[in-house]
Amino acid sequence: MTDGRSTPAGRRRLVLFGPPGSGKGTQAQLLGAQTGQHHLATGDILRAERAQGTALGARVGGYMDRGELVPDEVIISVMAAHLQGLERRGFVFDGFPRTVAQAEALDSMLAAIRRPLQAVVVLEVPAEVLERRLLGRAEVEGRSDDTPETVRTRMRIYQESTAAVLAYYSARLPVVRIDGDRPVALVHRAVLQAVGISMPDPG
Ligand code: AMP
């Protein structure tokens, strides 16, 4: 990642991509904490809107509970609002973009501030492991979209949209695939390595 390596870690702009349950939220958070990059997770943003009872929260609730994607124009305007004022920061995008239209919109928002994306990191985890993790998470966190039926919908939608989004990025940026079926700390180390950030040895 030549371009990325010349940018200080906290200023890099990355997308962390992966199926539901792949650990991308956890990894994006760890990466942001390590580097100072701003962690932008569309799922977290939408859940917060719902918890606060906003009009946006009400608009997206049904899609989320069914495990469907929220319409592109809604998500794109949410992201545009959240990018305001953060022009000088680095970013880890988590859960966004999920469609080619979103990827194109993100590219133009970042082009407007002359801060293009530098890499996409993909966490790969076998489907049966994902299903097990998501249903386990449902018991712990009580997320309304972790029921068996919505889990299946979310996996199917991910499978349907992944190929196009990854093809879009593969033609433009380094796309680094990482085995996400490992302990959190090992995956974190692999993510850092993939984006060219060296980490001190733990001891
Ligand atoms: P997540 O926490 O990333 O799994 O997102 C939870 C839910 O929020 C998804 O199942 C969608 O309903 C919605 N959502 C989050 N990000 C997006 C996105 N980029 N595009 C469309 N819907 C999204």
d(CA 135, CA 115): 38
Choice among 122-126, 170-174, 198-202 with the minimum mean pLDDT? 198-202
Q: Write out pLDDT tens, residues 74-92.
A: 999 999 999 988 878 899 9
Ligand 1 centroid from CA 34, angstroms: 25
Q: Report which protein residue has its CA nearest ligand 1's atom 15.
A: 43
CB-based contacts of 170: which residues, under 8 Å, 6+ apart? Answer: none
Ligand 1, atom 14: nearest CA belongs to which residue?
43
Pull the structure tokens for residue 109: 């928002």
Q: pLDDT tens digits, residue range 13-62?
A: 999 999 988 999 999 999 999 989 999 999 999 999 999 999 999 999 99
Query: Where does ligand 1 bind, in terms of residues with CB under 6 Å?
Result: 20, 42-43, 46, 63-64, 67-70, 75, 95-98, 102, 145, 154
Task: Check: CB of residue 57 under 8 Å from CB of residue 162.
Answer: no
pTM: 0.90
Asked whether the predicted pLDDT for residue 150 surpasses 70, the reply is yes
Residue 106, CA distances (Å) to 37, 67, 102, 116, 170 in order = 17, 23, 6, 9, 15
The average pLDDT across 116-141 equals 87
Can you give the residue ranges of every domain in the chain? 11-194
Closest by alpha carbon to 110, among 154, 67, 169?
Answer: 169
Please state which of the four CATH numbers 3.30.70.330, 3.40.50.300, 3.30.750.24, 1.10.260.40 is assigned to the domain occupying 11-194.
3.40.50.300
Ligand 1 center to 69 CA (angstroms)? 6
